[in-house]
A and B are shown apart, each in its own frame.
Chain A
Amino acid sequence: MQDDTCFHCGDPCDRQLITFEEKSFCCSGCKTVYEIFSTNDLSHYYDLQEAAGTTPNAIEGKYDFLDNEDIITKLLEFNDGNVQIINLYIPTIHCSSCIWILENLNKLNKHVTSSQVDFPKKTIRVTYHKEFSLKNLVLLLAKIGYEPYISLEDFEGKKKATDRSLIYKLGVAGFAFGNVMFLSFPEYFDLGSSAASGGEYWLNKYQNLFRWLMFVFSLPVVFYAGWDYFVSAFKGLRAKLLNIDVPIALGILVLFLRSTFDIAFNFGSGFFDSLTGLVFFLLLGKFFQQRTYSFLSFERDYKSYFPIAITRLKTDGKEETVPVQNIEKGDRILIRNEEMIPVDGTLIYGNAQIDYSFVSGESEPVNKEIGEQVFAGGKQLNGVIEMIASKSVSQSYLTQLWSNAVFKTDKTTTFQNLTDSIGKRFTIAVLSIAFISTAFWLYVDPSKAMNVFTAVLIIACPCAIALASPFTLGNMLRIFGKKKFYIKNTQTIEQLAKIDTAIFDKTGTITTSQKSTAYYEGMPLTPEEESILKNTIRASNHPLSRSLYDLLKEQNIITLDEYEEHVGKGLESSKGAIKMKIGSANFVGKALSENVLDTSMHISANNTYKGRYIFQNQYREGLSTTFKNMSQTLSLAILSGDNEGEKSRLEAILPKLTPLFFNQKPEHKLAFIKTLQEQGKKVLMVGDGLNDAGALAQSNVGIAISENINVFSPACDAILDASKFQQLYSYILASKKAMRVIKMSFILSLLYNCVGLYFAVTGQLEPVIAAILMPLSSISIVVFTTVMTNFIGRKLS
């Protein structure tokens, strides 16, 4: 009995089957990894999780740049000449087996001292002896299917120091809050008694000590943990804006001053418990809002994709590795298989077959002849090529897009969120209530006026309002994350709820790049020919062969008499009397047809031309219904970088009168969105490739569709897994509902404020009432928003 899935990676072994130690493998790469693991006593890897592995890629020569000392020095985190430490990003980390094997690297090679995986970030930190060398380490990782991803961004050494200040602040506030609560207990139990009325002797004797201790604890809370609120309020006021931090900062300040005043003149115990609790809860809300997806990057520009170094050919024909920034116009560059082209240039040698999938989203590789232009961002798929750079890296067509001002403006500063717009009205209302009630008490009983004024500002501190939005949106963020919709920050949800126009890119966004359909055109093939065709392309690794193989109907596996693959041209095989050629038009002996817009595979048998398979974009499932639903509330449009070849097909699928624009260059897309925004529209851009990067940055919300969320998505506000494309509209509706939840919480917290204000205005605000009311309102808001958002989330699929 043979199991037909690969023991190592779990892929079906229908194309090739290798049996080794009674286990089946889909390719020799997987088998090699298994061998490495089993000879090193590491086969426990497969016990942790079945079929956990990843097929290793061919990496010949790809990491030669790691021989360059300068490059190594910049990549290393620590280097003392003997021991070196490096942090590597490994996109293929995905399960507990990965953690286990990577942390046992020292068993594979004795020069590795230790390795530690950070799973959420998908990074590994390796300590190793220098004689092992970084290159060997990277090769070792690549050999076992964990190829690290080293990009230009790592090289430029922007080592992001992790910002832990919020955790410190939260710790300080929580520490002070707990201790102040303990120290307040005597006061709570001793309600209404004092030394004069003969209350509890012990409590009265040490009252002052307890109170001053509370004062000491509150100092770091006000001046360290809560300091950001003062800064933000001050900045807001200077910009003539009343944001939500103004009443918060006012509340904290008044709480602190009034409490200090109270204990200094022995008027009462002060509100230190409420003060520390307030700051603690507010910071907790911030912490909840701040949690994002550390393994995703939303800020990528071309630097994250580009290689660090490239092989340059010197005039005497020798190869040298140089960092890509050093490439100048006129340099001769060598691009190996699977390497990325870093600059625009002219092809001078080799069979270029370039995959522009992450520039344009187009999945099929493009053939280039010697003398033709090749553009930066493409990936060579077919052996070695040589080219002459016509520009430097930053001047290239693709990279130039990033010099647009859009990439330098921060969307967050230009958007006033719901909380801040409420905060403005709230502050005005609170201040007027405070002044009116003070005026009243000045007239009735001046001794109480100051008490009432401060009490109003204390009780009206909008803690619950400030918590409503971080908890609702923070929770929505996590719910969306579980549904494979990864949003950069909570503000994006607010923006998404306001969207009225949605613009889509075509290739890769509404079409899928993983599946394609093909139809046959020409003379019908005989059953034998079909069988030979299927068996011939079975052995080929070319992407087109692979997709055609999946499309053709099942055939018995036969042994071919002859088989030869001509790189960049096609396949040749024979069986019995039939000789077959499959490949480009030239290869099968047919003049190139006029219509070169589509991708096709030509077939000839015994030197007579038979016909061709034409590949077509396959639109995502449910596209038509998704668009129909969306068009109810949103105005839609398609912006495509492609030619009009698919126009009539698209028109049939999409709702009537959806505007379609073709031949749009990246800067056209950007300008198109800008014009819509100038008309007051809130624009959602959905794209996938780097050519959409400008449009994504310009739009109010830019969503990148991605087949594989770990790699290759342009800078954006949110990343949507391609399998969830149909759900996009329901996600937009869910964010609208989330905004409604926030508004409901505002009403709820206003009710609490009304109760509190009653006590404050009538001059009866006791510290204990504040100490109960404030946490109660905060906690009930947190509970309310969590329950409501989970309810919304349950309805999503």
Chain B
Amino acid sequence: MSVIYVLLAISLVVAIIFFVAFIFSVRQGQYDDAYTPSVRMLFEDELVKPKKKKVKSKE
């Protein structure tokens, strides 16, 4: 009967989780540069020769 309260609560919680995620991503500056990541994701890792030790560089 009052299951609708539970459903509403769940839907609200899910919506708010996404909203908070959005706020976080804006605050981190993820929306400041919308172009470079689109190029960066096309670089292939294996082209870097394995004999040098790999340094993980991205934060």
Contacts and interface: CB of A to CB of B under 8 A. Distances in A.
B33 A113 contact: no
Interface string A178-198: 110010000000000000000
A175 B40 CA distance: 30
A106 interface: yes
B26 to A, nearest CB: 5
Interface stretch (A164-172, A301-309, A345-353, A665-673): A164-172
Best-buried of B8, B19, B39, B58 by chain A (most CB within 10 Å): B39
Contacts of A120: 33-36
Interface string B10-37: 0110010011001100110101111110
Contacts of A44: 47-48
A436 interface: no
A171 B19 contact: yes
Nearest to B59: A114
A41 interface: yes
A162 B40 contact: no
Contacts of A99: 36, 39-40
A563 interface: no
A113 B59 CA distance: 10
A103 interface: yes
A162 B39 CA distance: 23
Main DSSP-derived SS at the A contact region: helix
B31 A167 contact: yes
Interface residues of B, number: 30
B6 interface: no
A587 interface: no
Given A119-B35, A120-B35, A168 B40 contact: no
Contact of A41 (B18, B33, B40, B48): B48
A117 interface: yes
A283 to B, nearest CB: 14
A117 B15 CA distance: 33
A115 B26 CA distance: 21
Contacts, number: 70
A171 B55 contact: no
Contacts of A162: 29, 32
A518 to B, nearest CB: 43
A41 B36 contact: no
Contacts of B36: 99, 116-120
Contact of B15 (A116, A175, A202): A175
Contacts of A106: 55, 57
B26 A164 contact: yes
A280 to B, nearest CB: 14
B1 to A, nearest CB: 10
B55 A119 contact: no
A442 interface: no
A168 B23 contact: yes
Interface string B43-57: 100011100100101
A160 to B, nearest CB: 12
A129 interface: no
A293 interface: no
A41 B32 contact: no
A168 B49 contact: no
B29 A96 contact: no
A187 to B, nearest CB: 15
A213 interface: yes
Interface of B: 4, 8, 11-12, 15, 18-19, 22-23, 26-27, 29, 31-36, 39-40, 42-43, 47-49, 52, 55, 57-59
Given A162-B29, A175-B19, A202-B4, 7 more contacts: A47-B47, A104-B48, A116-B58, A119-B35, A120-B35, A168-B26, A171-B22
20 contacts: A44-B47, A96-B42, A99-B40, A100-B43, A103-B57, A106-B55, A107-B48, A107-B55, A114-B59, A116-B58, A118-B32, A118-B36, A119-B39, A164-B27, A164-B31, A168-B23, A168-B26, A175-B15, A179-B12, A206-B4
